[in-house]
Amino acid sequence: MRPRLVLIGTGGTIAATAGDARTLTGYQVTQGIEAMLAAIPGVADIADIRCEQPFNVDSRNLSTARVLRLAHEVDRHVRDAEVDAVVVTHGTDSLEETAFFLHLTVRSPKPIVLIGAMRPASALSADGPLNLVNALLTAADPASRDRGVLVVMNDRILAARHAAKRHTTRVDAFGADGAGVLGAITDGRVRYDMRPDLPETAPFSLTGLRAMPPVDIILDYQDAPRHPYTAAIQAGSRGIVVAAMGNGSLSPAALRGCAEAGRRGLVCVRASRVPDGQVTDAAQGPLASHALNPLQARIVLRLALARGLGQVGIKDLLQRL
C-alpha cells in the first residue's frame, strides 16, 4: 500500500521568497505548503500526501501556544491508523527546539520528520525542494520507524535528540553531536547507518497540556552581572537555566543569583555554553543539565514544572535524558 503522509507547513525560509534570485537573507514568508509541494515534480510518486497549514511564520516568531498546537496536531496524526508518518516544514532558526519538544512529548513508532531550508524558495540553488523530497522519502520509508523524531537537512538524517543548528547561513547548517547522525539520502535512497540509543523518548504526555511556565536562559561569562537573575525573579519566571562556563562553572554573580532564585522557589539548572560534553553533578548549587544543552534544558524544565515535578523529580529526569 502507498504510504500515507501528513505534511504540516509552519513557515520559515523554506516558505519564503525574496526580491531576486541572489538574495539569500532578506526574505518574507509567502508560500503556503500546498503551493510548495505542487512546485516539486514527482512528489506524487512518493506517497499520498495530505497538507495542513496551522500557521505560516518565521520560526523566531513561534510562541509556546503555537508549538503546543503543532505538537497536539502531530500527536493526533500519529495516533490515526490512516496516517503512516508526519513531515513538518519549519524555520531553521528554532527548528531544534520544536524537534526536541516533539521528541519529549510524542511517543510513536511512526516517523516524524522535521525539515527546513537555509535559502528562500526564490534563491538560485534553493535547498528547500530537495530537503522536502528527502524528508518525504525518509518519512515514507518503513526503515524510519522507531528511530525517534528526525531532522532531515542537506541530505542527512539526524536524531532530534541531538540535532542543532551550527552555522548561520550555509546549507549544511545542521549537525548532531556524538551519535546523532543516523543516515543519509542519496539519489532518492534512504540509508541508515545507525539507530539512536534514546535513553527515554516522550517522558511527558501532551494530554491536557495547554501552557508551560516561563523559564529563562541566562548566559554566564567573565565578570557577569547579577541583574538578569533579579529580573528573572521579578518577572515571575519559575526557573533559570544558566548557560554556564565549562562543566557548568558559575561566576560569582551567577552563583549568588541562583542562590537567591532558589530561595524564591525557582528551579535553577546549570547547562553549558560549550557545545559538546556533559555537565556533571556538583555537591551544591543548581542542578546539572547532564547531556542537555541550555535550550534543551529549558524545554525539559518547562515541561517538568508544567507537570508539577519538584527539585528531586527534575534532578532525576535530567540525569536520564
Q: Report how many residues bind ligand ASP under the rule CB under 6 A.
A: 10
Q: Which residues sit opposite 18 in a β-bridge?
A: 27
Contact call for residue 97 and ligand ASP (CB under 6 A)? no
Which is closer to ligand ASP, CB of 61 or CB of 280? 61
Asked if residue 242 lies in contact with residue 269, where contact means CB atoms within 8 angstroms, the answer is yes
Least distance between ligand ASP and beta carbon 269 (Å) = 25
C-alpha cell, 83: 496516517
3-state secondary structure 129-162: HHHHHHHHHHHHCHHHCCCCCEEEECCEEEECCC
Query: How far apart are alpha carbons 256 and 202 in whole angstroms?
Result: 34
Which is closer to ligand ASP, CB of 13 or CB of 201? 13
Least distance between ligand ASP and beta carbon 130 (Å) = 15
Binding mask 107-126 for ligand ASP (x = CB under 6 A): ---------x-x--------
Binding mask 48-67 for ligand ASP (x = CB under 6 A): ----------xxx-------
Least distance between ligand ASP and beta carbon 37 (Å) = 17
Least distance between ligand ASP and beta carbon 123 (Å) = 11
Query: How far apart are alpha carbons 200 and 137 in whole angstroms?
Result: 26
Residues numbered 8 to 37 that lie near ligand ASP (CB under 6 A) are 12-13
Range in contact with ligand ASP (rule: CB under 6 A) among 91-99, 130-138, 140-148, 245-253: 91-99
Using CA atoms, how far residue 41 sits from 44, 58, 136, 190, in Å, is 8, 25, 13, 19
Q: Which of 10, 13, 92, 201 is catalytic?
A: 13
Least distance between ligand ASP and beta carbon 171 (Å) = 10
Judge whether 13 counts as a catalytic residue.
yes
Contact call for residue 183 and ligand ASP (CB under 6 A)? no
Contact call for residue 128 and ligand ASP (CB under 6 A)? no
- The sign of the CA dihedral 158, 159, 165, 167 is negative
Which residue of 75, 93, 216, 220 would you call a contact of ligand ASP, by CB under 6 A?
93
Residues in the chain: 321
Least distance between ligand ASP and beta carbon 197 (Å) = 29
Closest residue to ligand ASP, judged by C-beta, is 91
Neighbours of 246 (CB within 10 A): 12
Range in contact with ligand ASP (rule: CB under 6 A) among 45-53, 87-95, 245-253, 298-306: 87-95
Residues numbered 201 to 260 that lie near ligand ASP (CB under 6 A) are none
Q: Can you state the percent helix, strand and coil of the chain, rounding each to 5?
A: 30, 25, 45
- The sign of the CA dihedral 52, 4, 12, 144 is positive
Q: Could you give the angle at the alpha carbon of 269 between the alpha carbons of 212 and 321, nearest 5°? A: 75
Which residue of 92, 201, 251, 272 would you call a contact of ligand ASP, by CB under 6 A?
92
Which is closer to ligand ASP, CB of 15 or CB of 232? 15
Largest CA distance in the chain: 62
- Half-sphere exposure (CA, 13 Å, Cβ side) for 196? 29
Q: Which residues are catalytic?
A: 13
Q: Which residues are near ligand ASP by CB under 6 A?
A: 12-13, 58-60, 91-93, 116, 118
